[in-house]
Structure 1
Amino acid sequence: MTEFRMPSLGADMEAGTLVEWKVAPGDRVRRGDIVAVVETQKGAIEIEIFEAGVVRELAVAPGSRVPVGALLALVGTEGAMQTPAPAAVAPIGPQPAVSLPSASPPPAPQPLAGARPLRTTPAARRRAGALGIALDGLRGTGVDGAICLADLPAGAPPRRGGFDPLGMRKAIAAAMGRSKREIPHYYLSQTVDLAPALERIERLNAGRSPPERLLPAAIMLRAAALAVAETPELNGFWGEDGFRPGDGVHVGWAVALRGGGLVAPAIRHADRMPLDALMTAMRDLVARARGGGLRGSELTDATITVTSLGDRGAESVLPIIHPPQVAILGFGRIVERPWVVGGTVVPRRVATLTLAGDHRASDGHRGGLLLARIDALLQRPETL
């Protein structure tokens, strides 16, 4: 029997509200299946499960606010002996008192001849007693028809909350405040000639319809991902035991939300993706981040973050590292500037590339090599 618990969807997440179950007791689940929707300060997030098996019991009813690490469900292998469920963790907030049984409870009524005995999970019995719900007449959807938490009437199902700009600002403030307190940042910047890369983008876009065209951000992200793969000290996490390298280059792509704030869901193995696939992944993340539907793993898997200010942003950015990551890259707005090419000053489209690094995991020398490598790759865009 496996315990499925509330995951942490951010460095400063303490609890989340279970909005919706996507599974019921008896359903088979596979690794990566979406099993629930949880509301956090970042919005409604789809939660995946990472164990295969059969759902035995849902320990939390929709609408409950549950702390990180609390039991959500029990998952077991099909046909395995069912063990008594552990006590469910009470949701955050005041709850009705539960009356303790007397020392000599009256004998339970015997079922009528031919009637099926009432089966109820321990968690459902506790919740029903606390809320004063009669179990007689309820239809159970658990194993062998047992009544479980999901079968208890709770009125209309809770609706997903809308975007909460104040909650988002609080979450950002908490994460960035922690970052500036705990992480010894160092900053580097380098101005990069983007003319060769932009000319390649223009050639690739010739004859394409607008939805199929590549954006400059795609080739910049591609160069960054390839360079990060060669600089493992900047790709990973800092924890109690020191630096832990990432299991791949999973780039967190910073997305500005229309209501304010931002999220940085991960593009897994970005260094292995060709330009068109990377552009598709970026568009998909932006659409789901702004419209809802991000997965929990996308908010926790990023090994380094990249932010691009686009054509309306500032010329440079000094980004703040998102813990527990150890680096973040920023691309400023593309601008035209005088540039020396072959001894002659010519107009050139350039952008300022910046890096914020964690001095506990790397130093300015390694950070400088990363920026230089990104620059070199962008001067040879045919290799991207």
Structure 2
Amino acid sequence: MAEFTMPSLGADMDEGTLQEWLVQPGDQVHKGDPVAVVETAKSTIEVECFETGTMGKLLVEPGTTVPVGTALALIEPTAEGPRKREKPRKPEKAEKAEKAERKRPVRPAPRRATPPARTEPARVSVASAAHERGHIEAGPLLRHLAERSGIELETLQGTGPGGRVTRTDVEQAAAAAEDAVPPSRLWVSPLARRLAAELDVDLAAVTGTGKDGAVRADDVRKAAAGPAAAAPPSRPSRPSRPVSAPVRPSEDRAAAMRQAIAGLMTRANRDIPHYYLSTTVDMAAAMDWLHEHNRHSPVSERLLPAALLLKAAAVAARQVPEVNGFWADDHFTAGDGVHLGVAVSLHGGGLVAPALRNADTLDISHLMTALKDLVARARTGRLRGSEVSGSTITVTILGDQGVETVFGVIYPPQVALVGFGRVVDRPCAVDGLLGVRPVVTATLSADHRATDGAVGARYLTAVDRLLQKPEEL
């Protein structure tokens, strides 16, 4: 039996709260499957399984807060299939008798009248009966995957034994749904979902007041209070006792997040000897290429300047590997790839830095799609454990906030952080002529234990060089 433990989902995480199990004992799990939902000081994260096997005993109940490294469950790894057993050798006399029996001529059996065919009652599979009852037997993991993909299990025809719905059925249905015109879906914040479960409120009956009709926590509280609470009284009456609202965790959550960020950044400033570099990058070629690309692309495939900046930062990190990795145990360890951490500000305050894995190998369009998906899931609390840990270098872009220059604090145990500001028009001299060109300020915060200024300068020079040939990114 292997132990499934509370993972470390960042250098600032000391403990986590198990919110929900997505599997049950006896369920088959595969490496990379989400098996639990864990809440940290920053966000709610889906934690993946680290190996393939059968889920054993669940050791921690939902709602329990435990330190990092605590055993949450037991997993029985998938064993090798049983070896083919050799047939026992028969006695010599039995073998001779069997050979003689095979040599004996076979006489045809007398023909018999064919009995009339019996009509057997039609067999109804369990799956069919379940479909008729509107119920499908499926484990929590499958239900979670179906819910995340917007698939109703009752509409699927299972291909597993006995008509059971399998993971493949759900994934194929989700892929087919992406090709079709997507229906309007109700977006609900994680806090609103939690309150709806506590107050027994049907989310389908809640009218959202957030952006694009999103359901917020206040909408759930109003629905729990009932329509009478919203309607003015027809006659004067003494004020009724207010409906007791549940404990509001948003303030506590925000305070815990700020405390976690403060602790990590204090340690980073104390332990990491930072040095800072900056350069001004001419973005004329990059912006011309971007405008031409977007002019011939549908709206859904148009790119933002951030995509070019991120791709240049990732490729430059591959070319200057000294800034791409970790400082631990008094030495530098290079990353196993360029896993670009992207700083994302959250709607309720605070930030997270999920990773775009192998960002240097993604083409620019796929990187843009991955960035949109990552930001959306970060702000709705749907990140996975593998996305909040393992970043080898972090990039922060604050151009959309109007900032022109940003010097960040390194996220330990990384050794570098890249900052980009807003693309602005500035007068500058090119080939002896004065003109106005779009430029962006690129900065580097680096760990002096791992590199010196010369290495940092090579990195920023590589970023500049790559942005002058955007068609090659």
Q: Who is 2:414 aligned against?
A: 325
Q: 1:80-131 deviations in whole A, cap 9, x for unaligned?
A: 9xxxxxxxxxxxxxxxxxxxxxxxxxxxxxxxxxxxxxxxxxxxxxxxxxxx
Q: Who is 2:392 aligned against?
A: 303
CA distance in 2 between counterparts of 1:223 and 1:213 reads 18
Q: Who is 1:360 aligned against?
A: 449
CA distance in 1 between counterparts of 2:416 and 2:9 reads 19
Q: Who is 2:52 aligned against?
A: 52
Residue 362 of structure 1: SS of its match in structure 2?
coil
Amino acid at match of 2:364: L
State the shift of 1:375 in Å: 0.2
State the shift of 1:214 in Å: 0.3
Residue 16 of structure 1: SS of its match in structure 2?
strand
Amino acid at match of 2:366: A
CA distance in 1 between counterparts of 2:402 and 2:391 reads 23
Decide which moves more: 204-213 or 318-327.
204-213
Higher RCO structure (Cα 8 Å, ≥6 apart): 1
Residue 44 of structure 2: SS of its match in structure 1?
strand
- One of 262, 265, 283 as aligned partner of 1:176: 265
Larger radius of gyration: 2
Contact 1:223 1:374 in 2 (8 A): yes
Higher helix share: 2
Q: Who is 2:462 aligned against?
A: 373
Q: Who is 2:32 aligned against?
A: 32
CA distance in 1 between counterparts of 2:454 and 2:463 reads 15
Q: For residues 254-273 of structure 1, what are the structure 2 equivalents within 5 Å?
A: 254-273=343-362
Residue 76 of structure 1: SS of its match in structure 2?
strand
Q: 1:114-158 deviations in whole A, cap 9, x for unaligned?
A: xxxxxxxxxxxxxxxxxxxxxxxxxxxxxxxxxxxxxxxxxx988
Q: Who is 1:75 aligned against?
A: 75
State the shift of 1:301 in Å: 1.4
Contact 1:24 1:55 in 2 (8 A): yes
Contact 2:51 2:77 in 1 (8 A): no
CA distance in 1 between counterparts of 2:361 and 2:435 reads 35
- One of 272, 279, 284 as aligned partner of 1:190: 279
State the shift of 1:14 in Å: 1.3
The alpha-carbon distance between structure 1 residues 231 and 157, as it changes in their structure 2 partners (threshold 3 A), is: same
Q: 1:14-58 deviations in whole A, cap 9, x for unaligned?
A: 111100000100011111010000011111111011111101110
1:281 aligns with 2:370: yes
Q: Who is 2:179 aligned against?
A: none
CA distance in 2 between counterparts of 1:259 and 1:202 reads 33
- One of 326, 337, 349 as aligned partner of 2:438: 349
1:217 aligns with 2:292: no
1:19 aligns with 2:19: yes
Residue 292 of structure 1: SS of its match in structure 2?
coil
CA distance in 2 between counterparts of 1:72 and 1:65 reads 11
Residue 300 of structure 1: SS of its match in structure 2?
coil
The alpha-carbon distance between structure 1 residues 207 and 382, as it changes in their structure 2 partners (threshold 3 A), is: closer
CA distance in 1 between counterparts of 2:470 and 2:56 reads 53
Contact 1:44 1:292 in 2 (8 A): yes
Residue 339 of structure 1: SS of its match in structure 2?
strand
Q: Who is 2:117 aligned against?
A: none
Q: Who is 2:7 aligned against?
A: 7
State the shift of 1:380 in Å: 1.2
Q: Who is 2:61 aligned against?
A: 61
Residue 383 of structure 2: SS of its match in structure 1?
coil
CA distance in 2 between counterparts of 1:79 and 1:162 reads 45
State the shift of 1:269 in Å: 0.3
Q: 1:318-364 deviations in whole A, cap 9, x for unaligned?
A: 11000010000000111110011111010011010000000111110
Contact 1:251 1:303 in 2 (8 A): yes
State the shift of 1:242 in Å: 1.3
The alpha-carbon distance between structure 1 residues 355 and 79, as it changes in their structure 2 partners (threshold 3 A), is: closer
Contact 2:254 2:349 in 1 (8 A): yes
CA distance in 2 between counterparts of 1:208 and 1:260 reads 34
CA distance in 2 between counterparts of 1:211 and 1:286 reads 16
CA distance in 2 between counterparts of 1:307 and 1:41 reads 21
State the shift of 1:232 in Å: 1.1
State the shift of 1:12 in Å: 2.1
Q: 1:171-205 deviations in whole A, cap 9, x for unaligned?
A: 11111111000000000000000111011111111
The alpha-carbon distance between structure 1 residues 242 and 341, as it changes in their structure 2 partners (threshold 3 A), is: same
Q: Who is 1:143 aligned against?
A: none
CA distance in 2 between counterparts of 1:158 and 1:227 reads 49
Q: For residues 226-245 of structure 1, what are the structure 2 equivalents within 5 Å?
A: 226-245=315-334
1:250 aligns with 2:339: yes
The alignment's TM-score, normalised by the length of structure 2, stands at: 0.63
Q: For residues 22-171 of structure 1, what are the structure 2 equivalents within 5 Å?
A: 22-78=22-78, 164-171=253-260
The alpha-carbon distance between structure 1 residues 162 and 19, as it changes in their structure 2 partners (threshold 3 A), is: farther
Contact 2:395 2:419 in 1 (8 A): yes
CA distance in 2 between counterparts of 1:240 and 1:322 reads 16
Q: C-alpha root-mean-square deviation of aligned residues, in Å?
A: 1.8
Unmatched 5+ residue regions in structure 2?
A: 81-195, 200-216, 218-248
Percent of counterpart pairs with the same letter? 56
State the shift of 1:373 in Å: 0.7
Amino acid at match of 1:41: A
The alpha-carbon distance between structure 1 residues 204 and 316, as it changes in their structure 2 partners (threshold 3 A), is: same
State the shift of 1:168 in Å: 1.4
CA distance in 2 between counterparts of 1:245 and 1:313 reads 34
Residue 388 of structure 2: SS of its match in structure 1?
helix
CA distance in 2 between counterparts of 1:335 and 1:165 reads 33
Amino acid at match of 2:432: G
The alpha-carbon distance between structure 1 residues 380 and 216, as it changes in their structure 2 partners (threshold 3 A), is: same
State the shift of 1:381 in Å: 1.2
The alignment's TM-score, normalised by the length of structure 1, stands at: 0.78
